[in-house]
């Protein structure tokens, strides 16, 4: 891994590192978004469905329990020969409370957010509310006229209440179970997010230290060929006669006509008499009339070397146009740059 990274060109290294950072950050943002979205959905479900669902279920259970207890209170008042208006008022309030509870439970049953288990238990309870209400109404009605008959009807009311209470208790237990499961899922999701962030931080920490970048081996030096140079024209410039100039538009009447294309630049490097590198750099531009860019790096052992450089920038000439041979002493990790001075037309070693 280190060797592969070290062998990359400078341009690729400069592109690779920001790309790794961008990809890592994009992955972290995506993970954070998914994690927070799930946490938000779980929190909403915990409140809007589980908490509210348990609260609504508890309301129905409490209302039915209060009504059933007050029916016994009505019977107690009737047995004590209490004022008829008090008994009638209390009895009317119980029937009204049962009607309100039945309406509320029916509205809950119509909600689309209910799970199948919730809908089944709540539907069963709603179906049992009607017969219980009928039994309660007969008991309350007879309490004011015939106490013994009212007690007989109360047996049926108790039976209806017990079956209704079983469904409501099961529904309440289900809501409690769903709430606990949702809460456990919320905690589990938080732990997953925490572990994910720790892993991402660990990966970033590892890659911030590894792979370690080593510019050069301890016993190596670097010979770097790097310059941009415009080759000579491929063809000679021609003098235009007066007749030829007269045929051209005024803005194109130059005394000489030169081809745009430039010669490629050829470079050879010898290290200690052996050819180490040869490169032909084509001219840039759509019309091949721009400069040729030359770049190459050679790792060599530190110490004394004889460096020979040859450059050709004219395709119409024979051999190389510029040459240089020079003895150099390179210290470990030293960089020798081979350049071309276009102004003075010479090869330089720096």
> What pLDDT is attached to residue 347?
95
Question: For residue 157, is pLDDT > 90?
Answer: yes
Cβ atoms of residues 92 and 48 within 8 Å: no
Q: What is the tens place of the pLDDT at every residue in 39-93? A: 777 777 777 777 888 898 899 999 999 999 999 999 999 888 889 899 899 999 9
Q: Both tokens of residue 66?
A: 């209060």
Supply the pLDDT for residue 53.
84
pLDDT at 183: 80
Query: 31-65 in b/e burial notation, b at 16+ Cβ within 10 A?
Result: beeebeebeeebeebbeebbeebbebbeebbebbe
Tokens of 290: 């721009």
- Give dist(CA 298, CA 279) in Å, integer: 13
- All structural domains of the chain with their residue ranges: 2-208, 220-349
What are the percentages of helix, strand and coil residues in the chain, rounded to 5?
A: 55, 20, 20
CB 61 within 8 A of CB 172: yes
Lowest mean pLDDT among 252-261, 268-277, 296-305, 335-344: 252-261
Pull the structure tokens for residue 320. 């190389």
Is the CB of residue 324 less than 8 Å from the CB of residue 337? Answer: no
Token code pair at residue 64: 């039915």
The conformation of residue 50, written as its DSSP 8-state character, comes to I
3-state secondary structure of 344: coil
DSSP assignments along 248-305, one per residue:
S-GGG--SEE----B--EEEEEEETTEEEEEEEEPPPSTTS-SPEEEEEEEEEESEEE
HSE-CB of 38 using CA atoms within 13 angstroms: 16
User: Does 8 have pLDDT greater than 70?
Assistant: no
Burial call 222-244: b when 16+ CB within 10 Å, e when fewer: bbebebbbbbbbbeeeeebeeee
- Residue 110 backbone phi and psi in degrees, to 5: -85, -5
Q: Return the higher-pLDDT residue of 327 and 43.
A: 327
**Does residue 5 register a pLDDT over 60?**
no
Per-residue model confidence (pLDDT) at position 11: 62
CA dist., res. 167 & res. 29, Å (int):
47
> What's residue 2's pLDDT?
52
Give the pLDDT confidence score for residue 10 in this predicted structure. Answer: 58
Average pLDDT along the chain: 87
Is residue 113 classed as helix, strand or coil in its secondary structure?
Answer: coil
**C-alpha–C-alpha distance, residues 36 and 282, integer Å:** 54
Topology of domain 2-208, CATH: 1.20.120
Do residues 300 and 220 touch, judged by C-beta distance below 8 A? yes
Is the pLDDT score of 9 beyond 80?
A: no
The total number of residues shown for the chain amounts to: 350
Distances (CA, A) of 40 to 34, 182, 187, 225, 325: 10, 12, 12, 58, 72
Phi, psi of 324 (to 5 degrees): -155, 130
Query: Are the C-beta atoms of 309 and 347 separated by less than 8 Å?
Result: yes
Class of the domain covering 220-349: mainly beta
Give the global pTM. Answer: 0.54
Are 310 and 288 in contact by the 8 Å Cβ rule? The answer is: no
pLDDT of the residue at 250:
81
Instruction: State the burial class of residue 85 (Cβ atoms within 10 Å of its Cβ: 0-12, 13-18, 19+).
Output: exposed
What is the arithmetic mean of pLDDT over 164-182?
89
Under 8 Å between Cβ of 118 and 53? yes
């Amino acid at each position: 891994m280190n060797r592969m990274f070290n062998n990359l060109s400078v341009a690729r290294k400069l592109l690779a590192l920001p790309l790794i950072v961008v990809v890592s950050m994009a992955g972290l943002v995506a993970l954070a978004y998914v994690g927070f979205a799930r946490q938000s959905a779980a929190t909403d479900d915990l409140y809007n469905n589980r908490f509210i669902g348990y609260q609504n279920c508890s309301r129905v259970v409490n209302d039915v329990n209060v009504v059933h207890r007050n029916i016994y209170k009505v019977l107690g008042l009737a047995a004590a020969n209490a004022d008829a208006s008090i008994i009638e008022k209390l009895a009317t309030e119980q029937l009204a409370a049962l009607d309100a509870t039945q309406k509320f439970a029916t509205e809950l049953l119509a909600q689309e957010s209910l799970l199948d288990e919730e809908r089944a238990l709540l539907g069963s309870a709603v179906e049992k509310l009607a017969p219980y209400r009928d039994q309660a109404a007969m008991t309350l009605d007879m309490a004011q006229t015939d106490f013994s008959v009212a007690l007989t009807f109360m047996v049926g009311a108790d039976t209806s209440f017990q079956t209704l209470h079983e469904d409501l208790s099961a529904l309440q237990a289900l809501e409690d179970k769903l709430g606990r499961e949702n809460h456990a899922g919320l905690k589990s999701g938080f732990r997953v997010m925490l572990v994910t962030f720790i892993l991402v931080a660990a990966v970033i920490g590892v890659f911030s230290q590894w792979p370690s970048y080593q510019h050069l081996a301890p016993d190596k030096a670097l010979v770097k060929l790097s310059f941009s140079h415009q080759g000579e024209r491929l063809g000679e410039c021609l003098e235009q006669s007066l007749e030829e100039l007269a045929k051209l538009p005024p803005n194109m009447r130059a005394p000489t006509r030169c081809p745009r294309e430039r010669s490629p630049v050829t470079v050879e490097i010898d290290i200690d008499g052996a050819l180490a590198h040869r490169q032909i750099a084509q001219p840039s531009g759509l019309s091949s009339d721009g400069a040729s860019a030359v770049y190459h790096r050679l790792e060599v052992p530190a110490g004394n070397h004889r460096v020979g450089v040859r450059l050709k920038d004219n395709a119409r000439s024979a051999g190389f146009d510029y040459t240089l041979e020079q003895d150099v002493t390179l210290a470990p990790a030293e960089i020798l740059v081979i350049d071309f001075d276009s102004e003075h037309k010479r090869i330089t070693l720096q």
